[in-house]
Structure 1
Amino acid sequence: MEDKKNKAVCFGEVLWDIFPGEQKRVGGAPFNVAYHLSRMGVETHMISSVGDDQLGHDLLQKMKNWNISTEHIQINTEYATSTFIASMDENNDAHYDIVENVAWDFIDTTNADEEILNKTDVLVFGTLAARNEKSKNTLFHLLELSSYNVFDINLREPYYEISIIKDLLHKANLAKFNKAELRMMLDFLGKTYTNEEDSIHYLQDQFDLQEIIISKGSKGALYADKDDFYLYPTIPVTIKDTVGSGDSFLAGFLSKKLEKGSSVDETMIQAVSLGAFITSQEGACPEYTVEDFNRFKSEYPLSALK
């Protein structure tokens, strides 16, 4: 990737996750990516919307405390700040009751957002923010202005339409799936799963995708470009919870990819290492420094499986 300005924009949901018996935590997949990109030293902007309410004001203050720009967070006077009511299963995986018709469902197109896209290396987005016509139209407009679009599929039933996912994949340069989402995508397209390599080639051909990442949990992660496949193992850590682990993985990948001259090997090691580091801690956005992460990374050296 051309080393221009080392900036990223994340588009979509920013919200409060409400966990049982705990205080609220800032969340939303694109925001989690923004948080970790910022921690890794990338100038990151979040395009979203919050309500003109206490939760919205608290969220903006939290972002400022974390030195994340709030310049592109719109304040909506008609719709409330988003909350996800979370529960944890026996595997420490989170499940969410997602409230509809919230502020980030109604993100407007603004001149400031258009301008920042012209100064940005990467635009990160997911499926959920396209569930409402308003934000969906804004997203598709911004995708036309971005030079490198990263689609974190992140399917949340029932808040997606297959036709929209297809349209978004056609706009993407890189798409990230987990194992379940890869199978689901093939089912949507009427393609029988045989193996990962065949599946990835099929998606690359169907959507002219330059790059695909598959995060595979305990089985590691796979990166594919037009030329080759790269497989990396997971790092054995004690799991505190898995909330946001895929988001930190993606942020790790992009933070290294944005560095001029970074190899696939360096980029994937950064991705897997940051995902494992966050999984070993509490919450999707724990407090840490680059030095904390680099110490962890040095303790768990990693190399490709092939």
Structure 2
Amino acid sequence: METKKIRIACFGEVLWDVFPGGQRRAGGAPFNVAYHLFKMGIDVNMISSVGHDELGQALLQQIKNWNMSTEGIQISSIYPTSTVIASLDENNEAHYDIVDHVAWDFIEVRQADQELLSIADALVFGSLATRNQKTRNTLFELMEASSYNVFDINLRPPHYDVRIIKDLLHKTQLAKFNKAELRMMLDFLGKPYYTENDGVSYLQDTFGMHEVIISKGSKGALYAYDDDFYLYPTVPIQVKDTVGSGDSFLAGFLSKRLEKGATVHDFMLQAVSLGAFITAREGACPEYVLGDFIAFRDR
């Protein structure tokens, strides 16, 4: 009997990252997650919006060229396609200048998306999509239709509101933070930082979440399910750049987390391996096939 394919929706920004020299690449954190989920063999839908302009057409064409669905991507006749000016520092860390009042700030609620989420295995989103009331309201409606909400916190000042982050966390089943975001969140809540485990347990208790991931860069990652904590080391590689490494980590995690019969070892190994695999390549969405990744993971 054929195994049921995992179905995931990713919500929020899809855009062009524009790098020094004018090179542009399709990006946006939730889109990066969608790209790698697709590469892992997941049935993925991106819910977003682009402008009715040349950049929007080019972005949709790029996504189609990857054989990904564009059915969930709305086309706005009012707002332009999003562009983000990206730069890399001396440590190959990416920094972004994010323009607002773009198409994905105004994502509409559509019945087709609500119906999709009623049968999907997960909804993935970040905090950036909440900066504008229109898209924020759409997200909250879609979260009600979803049974497994995955919040990749991804705090980018000044594009978030602590009160909204708290509201989202109360409706979240799995939250992912990096080390800095964990400390920031605890600070927002007036909770002193003692240890990672203590901080994670506090967040679980405060928001009623079973699952929390802390990505720790070169120090690996921590996964907590209720009172059980699992620390996994990173996979050593030569860093090309860190653009999208957290997004690929999350995609790797979910591709196994939602697979029937998979163990914590399976989904943590998949997460740290895919994160490393992409960090050793240029850009958030490099070209590759699943076999390339499996060979890297199992070497």
Normalised TM-score (structure 1): 0.96
**CA-to-partner distance for each residue in 1:164-214, whole Å, 9 max, x for gaps?**
000000010000000000010011111110001110110000000110000
**SS at 1:60 equivalent:** helix
Question: 1:22 Cα deviation (Å)?
Answer: 4.3
Q: Does the 8 A contact of 1:210 with 1:225 survive in 2?
A: yes
**CA-to-partner distance for each residue in 1:144-181, whole Å, 9 max, x for gaps?**
00010000000010000000000000010000000000
- Percent identical pairs in the alignment equals 69
Q: Does the 8 A contact of 2:201 with 2:227 survive in 1?
A: no
Question: 1:111 Cα deviation (Å)?
Answer: 1.1
The one-letter code sitting in structure 2 at the alignment partner of 1:50 is V
| Alignment gaps of 5+ in structure 2 | none
Structure 2 residue 283 is matched with structure 1 residue 283: yes
| Paired position in structure 2 for 1:117 | 117
Aligned residue runs from structure 1 range 137-216, under 5 A: 137-216=137-216
**CA-to-partner distance for each residue in 1:223-276, whole Å, 9 max, x for gaps?**
000130000011110000000000000000000112100001110000000000
| Paired position in structure 2 for 1:234 | 234
Partners in 2 of 1:226 and 1:234 — Cα distance?
A: 23
**SS at 2:119 equivalent:** coil
Normalised TM-score (structure 2): 0.98
| Paired position in structure 2 for 1:221 | 221
Partners in 1 of 2:5 and 2:35 — Cα distance?
A: 18
| Paired position in structure 2 for 1:303 | none
**SS at 1:118 equivalent:** helix
Partners in 2 of 1:85 and 1:297 — Cα distance?
A: 32
Q: Does the 8 A contact of 2:5 with 2:42 survive in 1?
A: no
| Paired position in structure 2 for 1:15 | 15
Partners in 1 of 2:119 and 2:68 — Cα distance?
A: 17
Partners in 1 of 2:6 and 2:218 — Cα distance?
A: 31
Q: Does the 8 A contact of 2:177 with 2:214 survive in 1?
A: yes
Partners in 2 of 1:4 and 1:109 — Cα distance?
A: 27
Q: Does the 8 A contact of 1:105 with 1:134 survive in 2?
A: yes
Structure 2 residue 91 is matched with structure 1 residue 94: no
| Paired position in structure 2 for 1:38 | 38
Q: Does the 8 A contact of 1:93 with 1:243 survive in 2?
A: yes
- Count matched residues: 297
**SS at 1:242 equivalent:** coil
**CA-to-partner distance for each residue in 1:117-169, whole Å, 9 max, x for gaps?**
12210000000000000000000000000010000000010000000000000
**SS at 1:78 equivalent:** coil
| Alignment gaps of 5+ in structure 1 | 300-306
